[in-house]
Amino acid sequence: MKLSKSLQTLINPLSKENPVIVQVLGICSALAVTAKLEPAVVMTISVTAVLAFSNVIISLLRKTIPTSIRIIVQLVVVAALVVIVDQVLKAFAYDVSKQLSVFIGLIITNCIIMGRLEAFALNNRPYASFLDGVGNGLGYGIILIIVAFFRELLGSGTLFGIQVIPQWCYDHGYVNNGMMILPPMALITVACIIWVHRIKNKDLQE
């Protein structure tokens, strides 16, 4: 099946060029916010929004930015967008924004954003850059949500804070695995995802 070019820009980052598990970008926040599903979903939306709009802005400016100062220009654009996201979250989702604490601010230094700006937005038209931003944001989000799903399910027995493992399991001796909530297990969960993904995509193996 041959996909149209713009659809490909959108679909490719979901698996074959996934920013987190293939390009290994933006790991910091991917791991830190995944102990529960809710912050992971909010983080996905925030990163996708910042990524899509910064891609569009830089793509519009791409002919006017002098090469020597482009990093600073990019940082300022991204920082301005992140400030907007931060203020919106504080206004409409205060609890989640407290949970995410510094990680919203750290979207500025998220390597996915700088990576996509450098690799895509600087040489492509705004519409294609927008699709690329959305695609990469979602590709990042998929990993976040898979990791958060397993960590919350196995670690607290809940999904989105709702109890899903029934009480009789606990009565028969099932215990939540507290280990899953701790930071090291995030790394090991991501490693398992990479493992499965590379068994399916043999050409990515090293």
Residues interacting with other proteins, by CB under 8 A?
Answer: 21, 24-29, 31-32, 71-72, 75-76, 79-80, 82-83, 86-87, 101-102, 105-106, 108-111, 114, 182-188, 190-191, 194-199, 205-206
CB-CB contact of 29 with 43 (8 Å):
yes
Q: How far is the CB of 67 from other proteins (least distance, A)?
A: 14
Angle, vertex CA 141, rays to CA 135 and CA 144, nearest 5: 155
Looking at the Cβ atoms of 41 and 75, the one nearer to other proteins is 75
Q: How far is the CB of 173 from other proteins (least distance, A)?
A: 25
Q: How far is CA 75 from CA 78, 79, 106, 109, in A?
A: 5, 6, 12, 8
Q: How far is the CB of 77 from other proteins (least distance, A)?
A: 11
Secondary structure element (H or E) that encloses residue 76, with its range:
helix 70-92
Looking at the Cβ atoms of 2 and 200, the one nearer to other proteins is 200
Hey, CA dihedral for 36, 41, 44, 47, is it positive or negative? Answer: negative
Q: How far is the CB of 10 from other proteins (least distance, A)?
A: 24
